[in-house]
Each structure stands twice: as C-alpha cells, then as structure tokens.
Structure 1
Amino acid sequence: MGHADTLLAMGGAFVAAAVLARLGRRIGLPTIPLFMVAGILVGPHTPGFVLVEDPHDFEMLSALGLVLLLFYLGLEFHVEDLQRGGRSLVVAGGLYLLLNVGAGFTFGWLLGWGLAEALVLAGVIGISSSAIVTKVLVENRRLGRPETKLILGITVVEDIFLALYLAVLQPVIGGAENLGEAAAQAGKAFGFLLLLALAARFGTRWIGRLVAVEDDELLVISFLGFAVLIAGLSEELGVVDAIGAFMAGLILGNTSAGDRIRELVHPLRDAFGAIFFFVFGLSIDPGDFGAVWLPVLIAAVVTMLMNLAAGLVTARMNGFGLTPAANIATTLVARGEFALILATMAAAAGLDPRLLPFIAGYVLVLAIFGPFAAGNSGLLAAGLSPLASRMRRRRAGSSST
C-alpha cells in the first residue's frame, strides 16, 4: 500500500467508524460493536466498496490501540477497591468468574473444537466488558446506587483474573511442545508480572520522577513511550503485550502524575481503540457467520443465565433485593474488548478458524443486548418477583411443619 493509499484508508477508517457510531448512539447502541460493524462493511470480505484490502496493513495501528486500551485499564485499576470491599467482594467476583468461566470452558469442550479453543472460549464467555459496563452505569445514572460498588468490584476481580489468565493461556495456545515447556513459559510470564508488580508497589516514586514533567506534550511522549516499551518487552519475553501494557498503566497510575496521565490518555485510547475494533471487523468474513450462528445464540443464552444466577446469589450475599440483583445480572452481561483480545491471540496462534466469527458474533449480540437489558432491568426484577414470592412461601411452609 502506497503512502497516499495508507493515508486515505486510515482517514476513511476513522470517518467510517465515527459515522456509524454516531448513527448508533441515536438509538442507544454502544460504540464497540459499531466500530466492528464499520470494519466488516468496508472490509475485503463484504460486497461493495472496499476501503482496506488487507487488514495487515493496519496491524501496527491495531496493536497500538490494544496497548492503549489495556494501559488505560491499568491506570484505572486500584488495589484499594478490593481492600475496601474485603472478603465479600472477592467472593462475589470469584463466584461470577467460576460460573461464567466454567460455563465457557464446558461449552467450548462440548463444541469439540479442541482444548486450546475451549480455554479461549472460557475467557471470552467468562469476562465482561469493563468499558461497556462503566458506560451502562453512567448512562443509566446508577453510579450512586448501593449495588454499583459490587458491580465495579466484580470488574476489578475480572481485571486481575484477565492478567493472570493471559499469562497462563499464552504458552498453551502458543505452541508449547510439552507440559514442561508450557510451565517454563508460564513461569517466565509470572516472573515478569511479579517484577512489574514489585515496581508498581515499591518503584513508583523513582518511576514517577522520570515521567513527571510540567509540560503536557512531554508527559504524553513519556507515558506513551513507557507503555509501548513495556508492551514490546513483554512480547519479546513471550508474554502477551496486553499484559505489559496493563502493568505499565498500573505502575504509572500510582505515581504523582497518575491523574494527569489518565486525563491525557483518554482521547488517545478512544481514537486508537476504535481502530483496534475496526481492524478486527476487517478480518471478519460475514459468510462465516452461517457456520457459527447456532453456537453464538446458545453461548449468549448461557451467558445470560449464568449472569442471572451470579446476580441473584451475590445480591443475596450482600443483603440486596430483586431490583439490585437484576441490575447486577444485566449490567455485567455485555462482552467486548477482552473477548476481542483473546480472538486476536487465537488468530495469531492459528487456532480453529471458526473461533474468529464465533467471537465476533458473540460480542456483537451481547454488546448490543447487554445495554438494552440493563436499561430494562426493572422488567426482569418484576418477572422474578412472583417466583421469589413462591419460594418464600414454600420455605415458610416447610419451616412451619
């Protein structure tokens, strides 16, 4: 692709994503699936106008978008949130992951696509989208509700799980020849994570001095260089670059410049994050959906049921009623950026080609349905009310006898 063609394609990608996202927002749709749809519509696999012939031409931009997404997630991560929530928050997050990750692995195993594919699906189905969850809470004005702390706490537990899961998953799907080699690669990944965690705990003052400058331009160059450098080092060591980016954000988020970095990285994250989702859409052939539409619908139903079960149990554990339980269940349904990260890893590892259209369809369904369900969670609570009443009467009858 020539210089002019690259600029035209890049500009067209931003415009296509922006136009479709603006249209979608008018009817209340989240931007993540719309960026994907924009990529599908102008990609090489869809009839009509083709903006980008080869998705690999945007590979570096997509990688930068992924780095910035995970870097921002690390910036927003606060260990204090877990400490304040205490044991109940960890138990709630663990229960949510147990139900959803377990269901995802079982579902993948039953599909018969292979062990590595089942492990990828466990993460895809098990982890909700922090970006969509936060957006749903803001748009439905639920930040002040008592169950919101529990919802955000569960996403924090998911973030920790994601970093650890990626470290374990990479050697498994990356072609390790035997268990010993896989264990060695996982050990190297965990060692690197431990080193970065120690830097986040004890080295923030020293690192903060390196990036803390008065000029915003120099601060942007400093934190961007740090994030990309750590991500590249992670990749060089055989660890997913997303983990390095997350840990880089965790480190810088604890420095004195953390608040300024969070503010300055926002537009970069949004712009290049949009390109990441757009490029993912470019790689999707809509014709492949025909072979996976039934598994996609089954997986979506399973996710909704697991979220409902987790919402009811965690709400009861924390003394909440049906309405908060419905809010928890529906808010955490959406899947998005984490599923696409796993899809990118699976494609790079050469796993079953059905994974890519499956994950794309699954994300599209739940990223659209999730916000709609969350906005109408009162209907779910009303539907559950008669069932809850019957169960209370049954328990009362059994206790009286």
Structure 2
Amino acid sequence: MIIAAATNTHLYPLISDLGLILMTAGVAVILFRKIKQPLVLGYLIAGFLAGNHFDFFPSVKDIKSVEVWAQIGVIFLLFSLGLEFSFKKLMKVGGTASVTASVQIVSMLIIGYGVGKLMGWETMDCIFLGVILSISSTTIILKTFDELGVKAQKFAGNVVGALIVQDIIAILMMVLLSTIAVSQQFSGMELIKSVAKLLFFLTIWFVSGIFFIPTLLKKAKNLLSDEMLLIVSIALCLLMVILADGVGFSPALGAFIMGSVIAETTQAEHIEHLVKPVKDLFGAVFFVSVGMLINPETLVAYAGPVMILTLVTILGQSLSSTAGSLLSGQPLKQSVQTGMSLSQIGEFSFIIATLGMTLNVTSNFLYPIVVAVSAVTTFTTPFMVRAAPAFADLLAKKLPRKWTKKIERYSANAQSIKSVSNWQVVLKAYMVQVVIHSVIIVAGILLSAKFVLPLAKDSQFGHALVALGTLVVLAPFLWALALRRVKVDEVLVLMQERRYRGPIIMMILLRFVLTLVYIGFMLNNFFSPEVAMIAFVSALALYAIFPKRLNAQYHRIENHFMKNLNAREIIRAKFTRSDLTPWEGHMAIFNIAKESNIVGKTLEELQLREDIGINIAFIKRGEITINIPGRTERLFPGDEICIIGTDQQVKDFRKFLTENEIAPPEKSVEPDIVLRQIEVHQEEFIGKSIRESQLREKTNGLIVGFERKGKRTFNPESQLVLQKDDILWIVGDRKRIARL
C-alpha cells in the first residue's frame, strides 16, 4: 500500500502536467489554425500560459518531468528532420545551396557576435547568439511555402537546399559549442580533434547503417506491420541516441544520424508517415516547454535587445542569404526571394539555446530573448516571402543598369560552368577511397581491441586468434585501400600528360603505405613488437597469395552497399530528370483531381504547350510511368504529371488546374427519394405487367420488392403480372408516390 501510494503521488504531477500541456497545446492549435498563423507560435504562447510566470492559469508542477518530455521532443524532431534531409540529399543540392548557406552562416556568426559585444554581453553569450541567429527555421519556411503555394517555384528549391546545409552545419556547431563550453577556451587543437572525431563517427555510422539497416528492413518487410515498423524505427533511433551519447556527442545528433540513414531506405516515406504523429506529439511538448521559460519581466527588461536582434535577424539574414545566392550564380530575382525567405530563426535556435542553458554557460536572459525574436520573425516570414518578387523588381529598376548587367552575365556564366576536369574527378575519387576505408579499418581495429581481445586474454592462443579474425574481416578493405583501381579511364588519360604522372604515382604509393601502417597498427595492438613483425610479414604473404579472392569479396560487399544506398533512387529514377530543365525552366509535379474537367481529355485537346507554354515530361499512373507522352495520351483521375516551365508558366498551369476543378455546390440539396410500400387495389393496374402499368414512370422510381400471399421477391422482373392485394416496395420521388 505504501509503495502504491508513493507511486500514485509520483505519477500524479507527471500525468496532470502532461494533460495540462496537451490541453493548452490543443487549444492553441485550434486557435492558430483558425487565424492561419504558424502552430509553433501557438505552442510558445500555450507554454507561457501553462508556465509559472502566468498566474491566471493552472501551472505545471513538476518542471523536471517536463524537461524530460522536452528532451524526447528534441530527439524526435531531429529524427524526423533526418528522415526528410538525408546526407545523400545534401550531396545533391550542389554548390548553389552550399555557397548560399555558408555565406549566410559565416556572416550571421560575425554579426551576432559583434552585436552581442556591442550590447555588453559575456563572450559565451555572444558566441551562442551568433550561432542562434545564423540558423533559419525549416518548419516555418516549409509551412509558409505550402500556404502561399510557392513550393513549385525554382527559388523554393534553392531555399530548401540551403536549409539542408544549415541543418547539417547546425549539428556540427552543436558539437563544437559543447567542446567550447566544456573547455571554456578557444583551443584550436581541441576544435580540430572534435571535428575529426565527429567526421570519424559520422562516416562509420553512415557506412555501417547503410550496409545493415536497409537489408534488415527489407528482409523483415513481410513480417512488419505498421505498428511493428514504428516500434523498430523508434528503437533504431534510440539505439543511435545511446551510441552518440556514449561517445560524448549530443543525443540529438544520434537521432539525426539514424533518421538520415533510414531516409536512404525504400520505406523512408512510410516510416516518416508513421513517425509523424509521435514527432508532432513530443514536438508540441518541446515547444510548449520552451514557452514556459518565457519570463515577462525579462522581456520587459530586455525589450531593447529584442527589438535590435529582431531587426538584425530580418535584415542580416535577408542580405547575407541574398549575397550568398548571388555569389553562387543565381539571378537577382531568385536571390532576393531566397534571402527574404530565410529571414527568421526557429526550432534549431531553441535547441541551441537549450544547449547553452543545459551546459550552464549562457545567461538566463538569452533564452527568452531568443524566443521573443523567433516569435516576431515567425509573424513576418509570410509577409517577407509574399513581398519578395515586388521588391526584387523594384531593386532591378533602382540599381544601375551596368550592375544588373554584370549580375546577369555572372549568373549566366556560373550556371553554364558544369564541366569538371579529369584531375578533379580522380582526386575526389582517391580522397573518398582513402577516407572511407581508413575509417572502416581503424574502427574495426579499435572495436576488436576493446571488445573482442579482452574475451580471449586467458587463452593460450587468444591474441593470435583475435588478430587472425580481425585480419580476415578487414582483409577486403585493406586490399581495396591499397590496390583497388578507381576512375580507370580518367587515370589513363592523365597518365599521358607528364605533369600528372608524378602526383598520381604518389597517391598510389600513399595508399599502399597507409595500408602497411594500418596492418602494423593492428598487429601491434595484439602482439609484442617482435611477434608483430613476424605476423606482419605473414599477413603480406597472405595478401599476395589471395588477391583474386579478396577482390571478389570486396566487390560483393561494395555491391551490397551500393544496392542499399541507391535502392530508393532506382525506384524513383523516373522522377529524377533535372537534366530536362534548360535555362530558367524547372520541373514541378501536379496531381489531377478526380473532379477536374480535364479528366478524359487528350493532350492535343488541352493545348497546354500552345496556351500556357509548358511541356509534360512524364505521367505517372499508379505503378506505370509514361515518359514523354504523345498528343493522343489522355489524363485520368489521380494522374501525377511532371511539367517543365518557368515560374510564371508553372503558376499559370496551377491556375488552369484550379479553374477546371468542379467546385461543390454551396448548399447540397438532398434528393427527395423515399422507400414506400403500397398495395395494388386500382383496376388500372390489376392484370397488367409491371412494365405495362408504367409504375416506374409515374413514380420516377424503381420497384425493388414484391410480395404475394406471403412469398417475397427481391427486384422482380418487369414481365411480372400484378394481381389484387399484391404488395410492392417502390423507391422513388416522395410527391409522385403520394399522388399515386
């Protein structure tokens, strides 16, 4: 009884607090959906009302429990973000997004740090402020694009690419901030070690994750229901959270890594759909918990810094992003649209501010100031996006003509430079080869030495067996590092030029020397130097004897990895046709509504190219894809069509689809149809068949039932002859049946 009472006492605040949080969050969702404002802002206000700083509303009792829920919320937010933005997608965004995001982040880091210093803040507050102001809000931007209907425009793709780069850099900066916070100094070596450690673990987690997890999900596909798939996905997420925390990284980093790994599987969209309600639930708790930390007294006391930082965020983000986009070679209008879209801070800023509070390195006033700035910039984002085209046109008119000409010329030249030299291709391939295989080999050696070797320490031949096993497992990777040929055709071309022969030979020798170093490092971990030397010579002999077998084994491993890595792209290959979009044109996908007037018409009848100027690249109908459809191809309900056109043409096509959708009537009128039972008494019906009696015409209905002397017939034939006292069931117009 005592235990039960204690348990109830402990559970009651937890349950009541969670109920209060979700109740206020639910009310906020309804209200902010009604007034068409971002839900994140509603959650913040709900948290303020449920917090201890607002006396006219029930308050949360156990703040510690809420902090635990909030940490879970951060984990699921980052897991979901990883599902949307994978590492592979980052590699595809190209230089445009990378340059835009890099210029923006570096600029805002400097501006944020400088503004903090001008306001007299401590150094650590200024560092965190610079990082906080440099990260735009993915959630708010995507929601704004969706509400304003600009997701299909070309600049939106540049913005999303920049957001992907920002999120990756934000993860890196969280690790660096943790290092700075612990050491309390800017140690160059410490930062280099932290970056190297991060890159090492990112590589090994990504490679091993892609190798094993898609295979696991594929093998168990027929066994996994939606419920089990959700459980397995969350289990994988939490496993990576534990691993990340175990090696000294943020748990949020582990969640992001696992999300990005699962994002490469064929079930990524399904898992994202299953995880979304969980993410929404705990994400709401996180944002509400952020709102609880808003102290009105602090906001009043720091109203000046809030206003200053709001202006700095809007102007600084807009200008730096526009400059970065221009530098990457985008036209003026798209650059301005990109810059003005990124002019806010959001969820990652909260997470970074929370990190500063958790590490106890930032002042108490920083967090509520960040929340206030985020709230204001959240409100301004839709207006900034909506005003961007007009402002870009105005800017183009006001700027000197020679400036606009230079921008146009630079943009045209930058977008036309797509060729990469053979030397760049070979150098990149060699770097990837060395880095990935080095990480795998070093990780294998360290894991074997730490976890496997202690198990065999009491055995007479334990060290030898562990060394042999490790050597066998790592043998394909050691062979690939030393001898695998990459970019053979490009290397042959370069070897014909004298200036490239020396560097290529040096790279080949470097790979071979690295392999010898790793073998020596491995054997030195298991044996004394003398024995290690003998084992080293034996290992080289084994590698010389079995080169073909090692080659075949490595290629099996590589093929399995590449198959898992590209499985999603193979399925979606029909959609990846960016080479079909010349100049200012780009691709956009639309769904043909079931109620549309264009359903059933051929492309020739629609005259889309002649009237709007767009071309249709392909039509997806279920599992069938019709590439470059002909003029006789018809559109069917639910078709997905990919069109190619400029922003204006895409906008015109969306308007065309909207105008051709059949709108439901303002007031639906229910047909006055009833089911009535009547008996046959009138002479005009007796002795006639149902068809001859014209009962259907007189009632505008159907005879669905017939009964004679207790025997019933459903849907009687029209040749049935009616007799007196027959009973009929008629479905028809109420008034006509009544008159009959």
The aligned counterpart of 1:99 is 107
Q: Cα gap change, 1:251/1:283 in structure 2, threshold over 3 Å: closer, same or farther?
A: same
The aligned counterpart of 1:349 is 359
The aligned counterpart of 1:365 is 376
> 1: distance between equivalents of 2:261 and 2:88?
14
**C-alpha contact (below 8 Å) 1:200/1:254 kept by paired residues:** no
Higher mean alpha-carbon deviation, 31-40 vs 108-117, is at: 108-117
Structure 1 letter corresponding to 2:233: F
**Pairwise CA distance, 1:326:** 3.7
CA shift digits 1:268-307 (9 cap, x unpaired): 1111101001011112222111232222221221222223
Normalised by the length of structure 2, the TM-score is 0.50
Matching of residue 199 in structure 1 with residue 216 in structure 2: no
> 2: distance between equivalents of 1:303 and 1:383?
22
The aligned counterpart of 1:112 is 120
Please say which structure displays the higher CA radius of gyration.
2
> Which runs of structure 2 are paired with 1:150-165 in the superposition (5 Å)?
150-165=158-173
**Pairwise CA distance, 1:92:** 2.1
**C-alpha contact (below 8 Å) 2:32/2:42 kept by paired residues:** yes
**C-alpha contact (below 8 Å) 1:29/1:371 kept by paired residues:** no
1:147 to 155, 165, 169: 155
Q: How many residues align structurally? A: 393
2:315 to 305, 324, 335: 305
Q: Cα gap change, 1:177/1:306 in structure 2, threshold over 3 Å: closer, same or farther?
A: closer
* Partner SS for 2:338: helix
> 2: distance between equivalents of 1:327 and 1:301?
18
> 2: distance between equivalents of 1:230 and 1:315?
35
Cα-Cα RMSD: 2.6
The aligned counterpart of 1:333 is 343
**C-alpha contact (below 8 Å) 1:199/1:251 kept by paired residues:** no
**Pairwise CA distance, 1:354:** 1.6
Q: Cα gap change, 1:26/1:318 in structure 2, threshold over 3 Å: closer, same or farther?
A: farther
Higher mean alpha-carbon deviation, 306-315 vs 55-64, is at: 306-315
CA shift digits 1:190-234 (9 cap, x unpaired): 433332233345444345458755311111111111212222332
1:26 to 13, 22, 34: 34
CA shift digits 1:311-341 (9 cap, x unpaired): 433454544343x334212221121110110
The aligned counterpart of 1:399 is none
Matching of residue 240 in structure 1 with residue 250 in structure 2: yes
Larger proportion of helix: 1
The aligned counterpart of 2:232 is 222
**Pairwise CA distance, 1:382:** 5.3
**C-alpha contact (below 8 Å) 1:289/1:357 kept by paired residues:** yes
**C-alpha contact (below 8 Å) 1:93/1:155 kept by paired residues:** yes
Higher mean alpha-carbon deviation, 328-337 vs 86-95, is at: 86-95
Structure 2 letter corresponding to 1:217: E
Structure 1 letter corresponding to 2:261: I
The aligned counterpart of 1:70 is 78
* Partner SS for 2:52: coil
**Where does structure 1 lack aligned partners over 5 or more consecutive residues?**
397-401
> 2: distance between equivalents of 1:167 and 1:59?
21
> Higher relative contact order at CA 8 Å, sep ≥6: structure 1 or structure 2?
1
The aligned counterpart of 2:662 is none
Q: Cα gap change, 1:202/1:379 in structure 2, threshold over 3 Å: closer, same or farther?
A: same
Matching of residue 292 in structure 1 with residue 302 in structure 2: yes
CA shift digits 1:222-258 (9 cap, x unpaired): 1111212222332233211111110010111112322
**Pairwise CA distance, 1:395:** 8.0
Q: Cα gap change, 1:158/1:178 in structure 2, threshold over 3 Å: closer, same or farther?
A: closer
Structure 2 letter corresponding to 1:250: S
> 2: distance between equivalents of 1:52 and 1:395?
57
The aligned counterpart of 2:61 is 53
* Partner SS for 1:127: coil
Normalised by the length of structure 1, the TM-score is 0.89
Structure 2 letter corresponding to 1:235: D
> 2: distance between equivalents of 1:394 and 1:282?
49
Higher mean alpha-carbon deviation, 376-385 vs 224-233, is at: 376-385
The aligned counterpart of 1:278 is 288
**Pairwise CA distance, 1:150:** 0.7
Structure 2 letter corresponding to 1:205: P
1:124 to 112, 127, 132: 132
> 2: distance between equivalents of 1:201 and 1:168?
26
CA shift digits 1:162-190 (9 cap, x unpaired): 12111111121235688466665565444
